């Protein structure tokens, strides 16, 4: 009789082991389906004054430019010029690698929704200032997009893309609707709230 109990115990153990393997496989499958892979976080200092978008995001590629911006897309100008952001407390953003090509909605969903995805133009500009001439840092400077989500002057969440043009030595700043049929290529970097 003890031998039978031993066999049952062993079979139960194997069944439990099989269940654990199945759960591990499901977890691995889920992880492999994720769009984003955490790279790191970065702190954005508090600001004292109001942030006037049209006064900061200007085309200026001179040596003394606060940020060497050489191109500002028409959507960005239309949707964000006229926006003024109030002073902000210190914040922390996370940045993640886009593991495979995707459109905005799946990215926003994986980030936890619009509230978690949303960043401010103040934060975007603060990061750009650290790499004003394409220096290495949290923003990619290899031609891939740095993707942010920010609200425009009408409160609509938009995708904002900044990328470094190494050949010309300047930043491009563009904006697009989050429902755009165009997607982002794998290898791009996505910024969002770290909370």
Together in a domain, 8 and 52: no
Q: Are residues 24 and 84 in the same domain?
A: no
Q: How far apart are CA 66 and CA 162, in angstroms?
A: 15
Give the Cα separation of 147 and 91 in Å (integer).
18
Q: For residue 22, give its domain range.
A: 1-33
One domain, residues 29 and 43: no
Return per-residue pLDDT of the chain as tens, 195 residues. Answer: 434 333 323 223 334 444 554 444 444 435 558 999 999 999 999 999 999 999 999 999 999 999 999 999 999 999 999 999 999 999 999 999 999 999 999 999 999 999 999 999 999 999 999 999 999 999 999 999 999 999 999 999 999 999 999 999 999 999 999 998 889 999 999 999 997
Smallest CA-to-CA distance from 121 within 84, 171, 71 is with 84
Q: Are both 175 and 89 inside the same structural domain?
A: yes
> Within this chain, do residues 29 and 42 fall inside the same structural domain, yes or no?
no
One domain for residues 29 and 40:
no
pTM above 0.85, yes or no: no
Are 28 and 97 members of one domain? no
Residues 113, 61 share a domain: yes
């Amino acid at each position: 009789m003890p031998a039978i109990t031993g066999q049952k115990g062993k079979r139960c153990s194997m069944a439990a082991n099989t269940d654990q393997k199945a759960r591990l496989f499901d977890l691995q499958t889920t992880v492999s389906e994720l769009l984003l892979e955490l790279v790191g976080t970065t702190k954005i200092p508090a600001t004292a004054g109001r942030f006037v978008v049209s006064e900061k995001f200007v085309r200026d590629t001179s040596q003394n430019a606060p940020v060497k911006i050489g191109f500002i897309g028409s959507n960005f100008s239309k949707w964000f010029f006229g926006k003024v952001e109030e002073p902000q407390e210190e914040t922390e953003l996370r940045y993640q690698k886009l593991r495979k090509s995707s459109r905005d909605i799946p990215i926003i969903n994986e980030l936890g929704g619009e509230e978690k995805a949303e960043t401010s133009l103040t934060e975007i500009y603060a990061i750009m200032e650290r790499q004003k001439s394409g220096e290495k840092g949290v923003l990619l400077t290899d031609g891939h997009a740095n993707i942010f989500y920010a609200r425009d002057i009408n409160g609509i969440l938009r995708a904002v893309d900044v990328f470094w043009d190494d050949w010309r030595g300047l930043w491009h700043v563009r904006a697009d609707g989050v429902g755009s049929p165009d997607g982002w290529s794998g290898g791009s970097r996505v910024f969002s709230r770290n909370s």
